[in-house]
Structure 1
Amino acid sequence: MLIGYMRVSKADGSQSTDLQRDALLSAGVEPGNLYEDHASGKKDDRPELAACLKGMRDGDTLLVWKLDRLGRNLHHLVNTVHDLTARGIGLRVLTGQGAAVDTTTAAGKLVFGIFAALAEFERELISERTKAGMASARARGHKGGRPFTMTPAKIRLAMSAMGQSETHIGKLAKELGVSRQTLYRYVSPTGEPRPQAQRILKPTNG
């Protein structure tokens, strides 16, 4: 069975799913098998997507207009498709840069395998940058007294990452070895340094 999922970012009616609906219907999805959310892709609360994924069965195929309609970020996308694949469910992307993804075919699986590798590579890069930054900070080091939970290197990485919409705050906090609360005490959700962070960064900037 073909199942279609649509999403637009605004819930006030200023965006329409007409284009996505037409594409999904043309691809063979029955009108009764369409699911639609009106929410930002960054939000976890997408009830229609949850219902769509829960109701799918072995042998079904999920169709989306573009890849960004399905995933909040690359990690979420990879995890979602891995879960579908484990349940015997395929994914087809109709247009955009992900149009080569069709996990019901060998070629499509290969393309998505590259996506998964990129997600792992991204995670490893963040980890390596964090460790290198922390080592560099220790080499310049704070002598005496209680060490800061957040080093200048950690703060700069947090500022850069939190300024990007696709950043998952929980994962970033874990990579930095701090809690979400600590992260927000030093850096705002938009990536701006808070007063505590400015006090730590000031000696290295001066």
Structure 2
Amino acid sequence: MALIGYARVSTREQNPESQEAALHEAGAEKVFVDHGESSRMENRPQWIACLDYLRSGDTLMIRALDRIAGTERMAIETIRELGHRGIKLHSLTEPFLDIDATTPMGEAIIGIMAVLAQLRISTIRENTKRGLNHARAQGRIGGRPRVMTDERIQTARNLRAENKSYPQIARILGVSVSTIQRSI
């Protein structure tokens, strides 16, 4: 029954030392650390190593849930998987996460969390769809406005006919070279 820590920072410029120190101070015997890894990625090298290292009866310690999971669905799946493996999860900043997923009550709480997460996702999708449909009915089309209007495209073509280079045309019109190339 070991206390194993996991820390993660999203960018290479960030320093995970405070997370590591807090985990060691809380009793972690070993701490796995990912540098410059997104929580939405499941194949983080040290996260995989940590999961491989953990055994039934161990406790995984984290500073916060966002260190291991970037979405609610990922969090629930991770908590559930740890529970099935007999591994407890302990968050230093979120005591409500100390759920023993190996018990019927823990499994029920995780199930409720899963249902609520799915409800939230479905509600967001429904609201987004409704908003887009309403905007279309009003004659609005979403997205960023076009930079290259028909007039600007014609200007770019005329400049190209005058043997101006793509970089020159881009500078004149204040857009990128790739925008000019796509437009002509």
Task: Specify whether residues 126 and 20 from structure 1 end up closer, same or farther in structure 2 by C-alpha distance, changes over 3 A only.
Answer: same
**Partner residue of 1:92?**
90
Aligned CA distance change for structure 1 residues 76 and 16 (closer, same or farther; 3 Å): same
Change (3 A) 1:194 1:75: farther
Q: Deviations over 1:128-169 (max 9, x none)?
A: 447x74xx96xx9xxxxxxxxxxx59xx9xx7xxxxxxxxxx
Aligned residues of 1:57 and 1:89 also touching (Cα < 8 A): yes
Paired residues for 1:1-206 under 5 Å? 1-11=2-12, 14-30=13-29, 33-38=30-35, 39-95=37-93, 98-104=94-100, 109=106, 114-126=112-124, 128-129=126-127, 133=130, 192=143
One-letter code aligned to 1:80: T
Alignment-mate amino acid for residue 101 of structure 1: L
Structure 1 counterpart SS, 2:95: coil
CA-CA distance at 1:117 after TM superposition: 3.3
The letter for the 2-side match of 1:7 is: R
Residues 57-78 of structure 1 deviation map (CA, whole Å, 9 limit, x = unaligned):
1111111011111101111111
Taking the aligned partners of 1:44 and 1:29, their CA distance within structure 2 comes to 22
**1:55 positional shift:** 2.4
Superimposed CA distance per residue, residues 40-69 of structure 1 (whole angstroms, 9 cap, x where no aligned partner): 223344111011112211111111011111
CA distance in 2, matches of 1:86, 1:99: 20
Give the greater-gyration-radius structure (CA): 2
- Give unpaired runs (5+ residues) of structure 1: 141-151, 160-191, 196-206
In structure 2, the CA distance between the partners of 1:194 and 1:3, relative to structure 1 (3 Å rule), is farther
SS at match of 1:92: strand
TM-score of the aligned structures, taking structure 1 as reference length: 0.55
Where do 5+ consecutive residues of structure 2 fail to align?
Answer: 147-184
How many residues align? The count is 138
Q: Give the Å deviation of 1:120.
A: 2.1
Going from structure 1 to structure 2, the CA distance change for 1:4 and 1:90 (only over 3 Å counts) comes to same
Q: Cα 1:112–1:22, aligned 2, differ >3 Å: closer, same or farther?
A: farther
Offset, 1:193: 5.2
Q: What TM-score, normalized by structure 2, do the two folds share?
A: 0.61
Per the alignment, in what secondary structure is the counterpart of residue 59 of structure 1? Answer: coil
Asked if the contact 1:9/1:41 (under 8 Å) is kept, the reply is yes
Deviations 1:82-128 (A, max 9, x none): 11111111101101xx332112387x947655533321212332454
> CA–CA distance in 2 between the matches of 1:82 and 1:9?
24
